[in-house]
Amino acid sequence: MAPAKALGQFARGVRATRGLAQADTMVACCRCSGLPPTRHFPEGARAFGHHSLRFRQQARSLPPSLSVGGREGSLAPAYCKLSGSDRSASARCYAAKGFLKELQELKESGEREDRRLKKQKQKGKKAKAKAKAFGSRQKASTAIEYESPLEVLLYPHPKLRAANLTVTDFDENLASFATELFEVMYETDGIGLAAPQVGVNVRVMVYNPTGEASEKDQEVVLVNPRYVNKSKGQTLFEEGCLSFPEIMGDVKRPKSIVVEAQDLKGDTFRLELEGLEARIFQHEYDHLEGVLFHDRMHPNVLKEVTAKLQALEGKFESENPGVAYQGV
């Protein structure tokens, strides 16, 4: 990075050496210490004598981090070819105008490049941290294993709280699994269903806001979904869940969202959702995170459904003695 002072000296040098600039070769001179500049910069090349030096490198081949302020306006000796006894001289170099311009441009582009690299590095760090966080939470899935017909697990089954794997195989098996998810969803009068609800801990969800098996064009399958954006505005809505029969409760969630997911072929798509669809997505996405809808209920609402939740817990305990679960 060139300090302003050093560039100022270059500018003065430009005046002194005007006429020496050549198109492709940068001409500059150095001054042996002790010689006053007035003696050293008469017009004409000869006056430079053995103090002359020629930059054989073109400006663009110099590194962007070229230091011009190494020693009071001197170019770093690495870039100067000093002749004879001046090799060790404390050189004060003066650049021809074209070189100065190129040098300035180099400096600016170097700064731009520095900023870009810094930004890229920060971005890379962030992405790495994100990937690490993502990786620690969700390992990749190899093949989806399930048994037909699928059955909806009820609260407080521990699979509803388990980590869900990212889907990596976009094969026939995945497509059949999605079809079966829809089947069990329609059978149980649902409008959305997430894979962990049928005991398969992978990041897959399906929904159909009409809840009608005949409305095939309303079916949405989301594999490895994620949020792109959530609205600040929130809304209360009474939700139910296939894993919580006969339990309903108000839950506050963002009004509208933008999400991304992969389809059954693995192609990424984006959806802007609001209203019921935004509501369904958020509820099902929570399942993929092991979050259940009563976790999001206001304490007063939760109080109203606690007895029913405990009844489900009691039923689970009697059917699955010794199995640990997370209760209210």
Catalytic positions are: 284
Residue window 102-141: x/- pattern of binding to Zn ion, with contact defined by CB under 5 A: ----------------------------------------
- Burial of residue 156, with CB atoms counted within 10 A of its CB: 0-12 exposed, 13-18 middle, 19 or more buried: buried
Residue 52 or residue 208: which is nearer to Zn ion going by CB? Answer: 208
Residue 92 or residue 279: which is nearer to Zn ion going by CB? Answer: 279
* CB-side neighbour CA atoms (13 Å) of 276: 9
Residue 86 or residue 284: which is nearer to Zn ion going by CB? Answer: 284
Q: Mind giving me the DSSP string for 160-223?
A: GTS--BBP---SHHHHHHHHHHHHHHHHTT-SEEEGGGGT--BSEEEE-TT--TT-GGG-EEEE
**E strand residue ranges, 242-316:** 244-254, 256-262, 268-274
- CA–CA gap between residue 26 and residue 33 (Å, rounded): 22
Choose the stretch contacting Zn ion; rule: CB under 5 A; options: 106-114, 166-174, 213-221, 234-242.
234-242
Smallest gap from residue 320 Cβ to Zn ion (A): 20
**Residue nearest Zn ion, Cβ-based:** 241
Smallest gap from residue 191 Cβ to Zn ion (A): 10
Choose the stretch contacting Zn ion; rule: CB under 5 A; options: 65-73, 86-94, 120-128, 241-249.
241-249
Smallest gap from residue 245 Cβ to Zn ion (A): 11
Instruction: Show Cβ contacts of residue 203 under 8 Å, excluding neighbours closer than 6 positions.
Output: 138, 164, 165, 166, 167, 195, 223, 224, 225, 288
Choose the stretch contacting Zn ion; rule: CB under 5 A; options: 18-26, 238-246, 256-264, 310-318.
238-246
Q: Cα–Cα–Cα angle for 114, 23, 104, nearest 5°?
A: 25
Choose the stretch contacting Zn ion; rule: CB under 5 A; options: 128-136, 236-244, 261-269, 297-305.
236-244
Which letter does DSSP use for residue 23 in this model? S
241 binds Zn ion (CB under 5 A): yes
- CA–CA gap between residue 257 and residue 275 (Å, rounded): 10
Smallest gap from residue 122 Cβ to Zn ion (A): 38
93 binds Zn ion (CB under 5 A): no
Q: Please give the size of the binding site for Zn ion, defined by CB under 5 A.
A: 1
Smallest gap from residue 243 Cβ to Zn ion (A): 5
Smallest gap from residue 297 Cβ to Zn ion (A): 13
What end-to-end distance do the CA atoms of the chain give, in Å?
Answer: 62
Q: Mind giving me the DSSP string for 228-248?
A: EEE-S-EEEEEEEETTEEEEE
Helix (H) or strand (E) segment spanning residue 56: none
Residue 69 or residue 290: which is nearer to Zn ion going by CB? Answer: 290
Residue 180 or residue 286: which is nearer to Zn ion going by CB? Answer: 286
Residue 75 or residue 241: which is nearer to Zn ion going by CB? Answer: 241
Q: Which residues bind Zn ion (CB under 5 A)?
A: 241
